Amino acid sequence: MKKFYVDLHIHIGRTWTGKPVKITGAKSLTFTNIIEHARHEKGLNMIGIIDSHSPEVIMEMESLLSSGEIIEHPDGGLVFGNLTVILGSEIEIYDEHCNGPIHVLCYFPTIEIMKEFSYWLSGHLKNITLSSQRVYISGLELQRKVKKLGGIFIPAHVFTPFKSLYGKGVHSSLTEVLDPSLIDGIELGLSSDTEMADQILELQDYTFVTNSDAHSLAKIAREYQVMEMNEPSFVELNKVLKGKEGRTIVANYGLDPLLGKYHRTVCAHCLNHVDQEDGICSHCGKEKIIKGVADRILELKTAEKGRTGRPPYIHQVPLEFIPGLGPKMLDRLLQHFGTEMAILHEVPYESMKEVVPEKIVDLIMKAREGKINLFAGGGGRYGKIADQ
């Protein structure tokens, strides 16, 4: 078996005719731009595009299929050179059981099945063309439909303060909303990691995935995983999530939780750090706070030890976070070394030093080794790299 770089949560910003899909997504995030950028600049081997239910996105995929630019893998997925695209859909559930909103990810093996899901979905939401629309059925009904179509079901960014399973503070167990037996994995989100999530006993049965939730081309692969499988396909991905036949996640690569937008509890007005026990901002005196992921997980904690045999979670700083590494300098690195995966994992210190200033290379190496100093983020503001 071989190792592959995988990011399963990438948004479509616009269709090929310029119509919006993810309103907050960049206009450059078309299906075609995504697959070219993910393959040639990021160096990924498998991606999940989670707005593939949008009818114009389906039309673009079918056009590329007709022209031969992409082909369908016999085991599911669309093949573009050495990149496989998994067709997905991010959906918002909010019913009498979940008191959401809660975002979930649904993945399917073929365009035809995605078309069938899209048609069914259009009868249960207001606008099938847009991303992350609220579906007016229960989470259980959605799960059953996904499974009936042979799909994969994963709760998204489960600790984010808004639009997630645990983040809002209403639910303390996934059993209140979903059927645990119909869940294939858990997406951690940018402000948590394996060690944090494994403090919740009911999550220890599931494989953890780390994905970018990219709203721009630059954000693709800010979080990802290395999977060991025969080849990148839907069938192999399913085996990885279930740990079958030796398929597995070798390592999760993600932001240090301190860099996440919602790691610590802050005042909603001035973003000053707040002790959640006080509940009042000492800086501005306001009472409204945004609870951080770290504090929320401590509230939910039900386990002292994590599951044995978990793959390592490696804290990694994306290249766009490196101070002083602007677009021109990054392009110079890519011209010399090919992809961001190569720069982050493989290119030697001395080789990089011939292309960009030594202080930039030092930061990249420190980030690679987990030795970089950070200021924690919160309330929707990313953490930052401290002066070294």
Question: Is pLDDT at 171 greater than 80 in this prediction?
Answer: no
Mean of the pLDDT values across residues 343-357?
93
**Domains of the chain, start order:** 2-254 (3.20.20.140), 258-292+317-385 (no CATH)
**Are 161 and 290 in contact, with CB atoms under 8 Å apart?**
yes
Question: Is pLDDT at 238 greater than 90 in this prediction?
Answer: yes
Question: Is pLDDT at 293 greater than 90 in this prediction?
Answer: no
Note the pLDDT of residue 370.
73
Cβ burial, residue 77 (10 Å; 0-12/13-18/19+): buried
Q: Which range among 21-25, 268-272, 314-318 shows the weakest confidence by mean pLDDT?
A: 268-272
Band the pLDDT of 170: cuts 50, 70, 90.
Answer: low
Q: What percent of the chain has pLDDT over 70?
A: 95
Note the pLDDT of residue 335.
93
Q: How far is CA 307 from the centre of its chain?
A: 22
Note the pLDDT of residue 233.
98
pTM: 0.93
Question: Is pLDDT at 388 greater than 60 in this prediction?
Answer: no
Q: Which one has a higher pLDDT value, 207 or 380?
A: 207
Note the pLDDT of residue 288.
79
Tokens of 44: 């990924």
Q: Which range among 39-53, 160-174, 249-263 shows the weakest confidence by mean pLDDT?
A: 160-174
Q: Which one has a higher pLDDT value, 49 or 306?
A: 49
Note the pLDDT of residue 169.
61
Backbone phi, psi, residue 349, to 5°: -55, -50
**Cis peptide leading into 318, omega within 30 of 0?**
no
Mean pLDDT (the chain) is 91
Cβ burial, residue 286 (10 Å; 0-12/13-18/19+): middle
Note the pLDDT of residue 209.
98
Note the pLDDT of residue 278.
65
Q: Which one has a higher pLDDT value, 266 or 72?
A: 72
Beta strands in the chain (DSSP E): 2-10, 46-49, 71-72, 78-80, 83-93, 102-108, 134-135, 152-155, 186-187, 208-209, 224-229, 248-254, 266-267, 289-290, 313-315, 374-375, 384-385
Band the pLDDT of 380: cuts 50, 70, 90.
Answer: confident
pLDDT digits (tens, 9 = 90+) for 317-345: 888 888 889 889 999 999 999 998 899 88
Note the pLDDT of residue 131.
95
Q: How far is CA 144 from the centre of its chain?
A: 23
Residue tagged 């007016």 (tokens): 136
Note the pLDDT of residue 206.
98
Note the pLDDT of residue 276.
64
Note the pLDDT of residue 172.
78
Note the pLDDT of residue 264.
83
pLDDT digits (tens, 9 = 90+) for 3-13: 999 999 999 99
Band the pLDDT of 245: cuts 50, 70, 90.
Answer: very high
Q: What is the DSSP letter of 25?
A: S
Mean of the pLDDT values across residues 284-299?
82
Question: Is pLDDT at 100 greater than 90 in this prediction?
Answer: no
